[in-house]
Amino acid sequence: MKKTFAVGIDFGATQIKIGMVNPEGKVLSRKVIATPRDISPLEFGKTAKREISHIISDSGKSGKCVGVGIGVPGLVQFDKGVVLYLVNVKGWKKVPLAALLSREVGLPVWVDNDVNAMTLGEFTYGAGRGGKNIVCLTLGTGVGGGIILNGEIYRGTSYAAGEIGHIVIQEQGRECACGGKGCLEAYIGNRQIMVLGKGRYGSPKEISDAARKGDLVAAAIWKEVGTHLGVALSSVINLLNPEKIVIGGGVANAGTFLFNEVHETVRKRAMKGPADSVKIVKAQLGEDAGIIGAAVLAGIK
């Protein structure tokens, strides 16, 4: 039988990553390019077409490409393949991206929100494997979320479900960029973590490194971040009773400093039944999660 693969594209505001992914979820070849400033849909289509043929020919592998999946940083009408808008990339309004790229490359194309794609990747090949009800978080500049229920991604009524970063943890809390108040993201977004460091550290990674070397201030920062995150996850656990919560993104690299506090907070605050039946684990696919998840969208498995 001829080998199959899919192309996964992780379209970020700063980088576009393109990969060939096989049915085992392995990335056979990949390419990363800087995202041109305010790239237009047409320009994206041309770029994607060119880079897809490059990575396929460069890989030296032959096989049948089942399709192309794209994860984008914005709101997507999944069943129509239409990008309603992008965050941090101007000029994308109701763009029929699946149809546009499908015409260019002559393959079926699927488009979804980037965190949904990452969630599908972890669910199919990563830390969420074998589960049915999974919640995925990505901790970075913002706090993104994706939800798998009964084995399928749950997108909500207007494709906006999964905004775990905008679960309220403080009724009288600080203003959030979303226009609300007291949202999780307003406490544990990258910038807020740096504020907790009071200028001592250059990045969340430095705080993690310092904590590992015994820096008590750094450890205390992760304890505070872990408490806020644990409170929001207690709400998620009481509401959705998931079997697994998968945490990815740069901040997840704080490792046990962060995870211990999350576990402890959930143990103390979530209801016993759902708390006992949930595992909170680190994402496994790292930087490739977006590419692999996009390939899942395209039906590689």
Q: Please give the residue ranges that form the binding site for its own copies (CB under 8 A).
A: 75, 132-133, 145, 147, 149-150, 152, 154-164, 166-172, 178-183, 227-228, 231-232, 234-236, 238-243, 268-274, 276-278
* Kind plus residue range of the DSSP H or E element containing 118: helix 114-125
Count of C-beta atoms within a 10 Å radius of residue 44: 25
Token digits of residue 172: 């009288």
Q: How far is CA 191 from CA 75, 86, 89, 99, 108, in A?
A: 23, 21, 20, 37, 39
Tally of residues, the chain: 301
Give least dist CB 259 to its own copies, A: 19
Nearer to its own copies, 45 or 74 (CB): 74
The number of angstroms, rounded, from the C-alpha of 232 to the middle of its chain's C-alpha atoms is 17
Shorter beta-carbon distance to its own copies: residue 111 or 270? 270
* Minimum CB distance to its own copies smaller for 105 or for 281: 281
First to last CA, the chain: 16
Minimum CB distance to its own copies, residue 209 (Å) = 28
Computed on alpha carbons and rounded to an integer, the radius of gyration of the chain in Å comes to: 19
- Report, in Å, the least distance between residue 280 CB and its own copies: 13
12 vs 182, beta carbon nearer its own copies? 182
Of 97 and 143, which CB lies nearer to its own copies in the complex structure? Answer: 143
Q: d(Cα 72, Cα 239) in Å, to the nearest integer?
A: 28
- Residue whose C-alpha is closest to residue 138's, from 105, 199, 184: 184
Q: Fill in the amino acid letter for 244.
A: K
Is the separation of the CB atoms in 115 and 136 below 8 Å? yes
Please identify, using beta-carbon distances, which residue of 18 and 278 lies nearer to its own copies: 278
Smallest gap, in angstroms, from Cβ of residue 287 to its own copies?
26
- Nearest approach in angstroms of CB 136 to its own copies is 13
Least distance CB 195 / its own copies (angstroms): 17
Distance CA 187, CA 142 (A): 10
